[in-house]
A = this chain, B = another copy of it.
Amino acid sequence: MKALNIYNPVKIHFGAGLIGETGKIAKKYSDTALIVTGKNSMQKTGTLDKLVKILKDAGVAPIIFDGITPNPTTYEIDSAAGIARGKGIGLIIGLGGGSPLDSAKAVAVAAKGNIPVWDYLKTTAKEALPVITIVSTSGTGSEVNRYSVMTNTETGEKPGFGYECMYPKEAVIDPEIMLSMPANVTAATGFDVFVHIFEAFTGKAKNAFSSAYCMQAFYLLKDNLIKAYNEPDNIEPRGNMALASALAGLAIDISGVGIMHAMEHPVSGNYSNVAHGAGLAALALESMKYNLNACKKDFMLIAHHFGIKRAGKSDDEYAGSLIEKTKEMLSALNLNIRLKDLGVEKDKLRKIAKEAFDTMGFAIQNNPAEAGENEVLKLLENSY
């Protein structure tokens, strides 16, 4: 019987229009807040201005750091942490998709210490400023877990890390914010949810708690992802995908990710224009084929929950039908892409394979099927 430890202290608030409550929530922690966000979408949609007003109305003085890029770098995080330290900020608010949210947690750690954020890959962080997440996409799961992914400005390495002190205090999940998500972002981040479910549900570290989250997230995703993509103004599928993202985020907080994430991080680490979900889309089908024999029953169970009829299929055929179904889903989301389509250079694949082990080795360890550097290189080549 496998021992297990479960802990997630995030206060999750879900509801349309809930961003309005952020002022009251923030005030519990501090009179000053650093808003960590990106350069574009939260400005364009007016969400950033709205948040600033909400905070001011509640008596919280906001400072904006809007220098987070899609694959946030150690330089950006250390810069924001320097501002937080210098101004004596008491609260970090992450606003946006996975990148600002991940960054907010890393900034909260770095602001408390006196070493560059990269050093926390080797030094355990014991304390961090409180963090509130306000998520604008449905995919990352970062809104409810302790993980942060950052890219080393000098080397292109893109590891994930997460300590207990990095759990957000509160997560504000407001599906109205997601109504403005562009179609390609809905697709890529939504597919990230699928991969979180798949990897947490099939990984070696799976357990009853992560499986509970995975199955519920999957129920929501199968009925709502393509709908959210096709009906961007419909708040119902937006809300359900937001819940699926949070549930899958809780699942990976417990049971981690696998080989798809291990390979994708160095892809988008080296090619910063690649969206994480798009990178996953290019890698998913080959990775699923690779894993099929190691967790056939899990494949069959997901196929069953997907509503795929068994009807005379052998175990192998039925498990394999999940890969077919995933391919259909990718087509419906306009995500049937290969690494080549993302601008990845073929002669970089060996470097990417090596970095998958160097920076995401724990995810390869967790993968249902064993893989060495040559197998990973092969998967990258087959996905090219």
Number of copies of this chain in the oligomer? Answer: 2
Interface size on A, residues (CB 8 A): 32
Residues of B within 8 A of A209 (CB): 216, 247
Do residues A14 and B9 form an inter-chain contact, with CB atoms below 8 A?
no
Mask for A1-24, Cβ within 8 A of B = 1, else 0?
Answer: 111111111111111101000000
Mask for A120-164, Cβ within 8 A of B = 1, else 0?
Answer: 000000000000000000000000000000000000000000000
Do residues B15 and A11 form an inter-chain contact, with CB atoms below 8 A?
no
Q: Is A299 an interface residue (CB 8 A)?
A: no
Residues of B within 8 A of A215 (CB): 212, 215-216
Give A97 Cβ to nearest chain B Cβ, in Å.
21
Do residues A208 and B4 form an inter-chain contact, with CB atoms below 8 A?
no
Closest to A220 in B: B208
Q: Bound state CA distance, A3 and B209, in angstroms?
A: 23
Q: Is A235 an interface residue (CB 8 A)?
A: yes
Mask for A282-310, Cβ within 8 A of B = 1, else 0?
Answer: 00000000000000000000000000000
Do residues B7 and A12 form an inter-chain contact, with CB atoms below 8 A?
yes
Do residues B1 and A11 form an inter-chain contact, with CB atoms below 8 A?
no
Q: Is A175 an interface residue (CB 8 A)?
A: yes
**Taking beta carbons and an 8 Å cutoff, which residues of A are in contact with B?**
1-16, 18, 175, 208-209, 211-213, 215-217, 220, 235-236, 239, 243, 247
10 A-B contacts (beta carbon < 8 Å): A1-B239, A2-B15, A4-B12, A7-B9, A7-B12, A208-B243, A208-B247, A209-B216, A212-B216, A215-B215
